[in-house]
Amino acid sequence: MTVIGVTGPSGAGKSLFCSYFEEAGCLHLDCDKIYHTLVDSPSDCTRALEAEFDSSVINPDGSLCRPALAEIVFAPGADKLRAKLNKITHAFVLAEVRKAINSTDKKCAVIDAPLLFEAGYEKECNLTIALLAPYEERLERLRARDNRPVEALRARMAAAPSDEFYSSRASLTVINNGDSDKLSAAAMKILNEIK
């Protein structure tokens, strides 16, 4: 099993990039989707978050109130709180990733993990890829996707690591300039080289 870790800042196009690997037969594991599955109903993960951040981050049905938690962890100076959030959620998400990898018969898995290096999961990958994109393009993608105020999106982007953080740690860096044909070709080139 070849495990490819794809990381990079929000809005870089990681989901699209990983979908090209999936189309070529790789198992695609989206850590954000796994996280949402874990917190969209009562779970060990939501109970751990409630214990750390209090009941204000939990909806009446036991699911996570993501806007309430985001307000806490993306506030200016909230680095320590964000680190606590990540420590809790990484453990649950990575357990699901490992379970999926161990139960597939596919020869390749691509993991879309925005916090790949922060979670320490790069140690379990054969190859890591930093997917980067220009700031304004990322902002436009996030506006279209998240339907949140620009100020909130800029604050979230400002809380993320620099492009250099990703590129200095990854095996490869790919730039997504918005050309989907070039992005697909880059994914296929990588797959062909590791086969």
Q: Name the residue range of residue 60's domain.
A: 2-194
C-alpha dist (Å) from residue 182 to 4, 85, 98, 154? 19, 35, 31, 27
**Residue 64 burial (10 A CB sphere; 0-12, 13-18, 19+):** buried
- The pLDDT of residue 2 is 96
pLDDT, tens only, 5-56: 999 999 999 999 999 999 999 999 999 999 999 999 999 999 999 999 999 9
pLDDT, tens only, 63-120: 999 999 999 998 888 989 999 999 999 999 999 999 999 999 999 999 999 999 988 8
pLDDT, tens only, 118-147: 888 999 999 999 999 999 999 999 998 888
pLDDT band, very low/low/confident/very high, at 195 (cuts 50, 70, 90): confident
CA 138 to chain centre: 14
- The pLDDT of residue 158 is 87
Q: What average pLDDT does this structure show over 161-175?
A: 96
**Number of folded domains in the chain?**
1
Tokens matching residue 175: 């730039």
C-alpha dist (Å) from residue 79 to 29, 92, 147? 27, 20, 24
**pTM assigned to the model:** 0.87
- The pLDDT of residue 155 is 83
Q: Is the Cα torsion angle 146, 20, 39, 2 positive or negative in sign?
A: negative
- The pLDDT of residue 152 is 86
- The pLDDT of residue 67 is 92
**Using CA atoms in the order 143, 158, 110, 41, what is the torsion angle rounded to 10 degrees?**
-70
Calpha distance 12→176 (Å, rounded): 7
- The pLDDT of residue 76 is 86
Q: What CATH code is carried by the domain that includes residue 26? A: 3.40.50.300
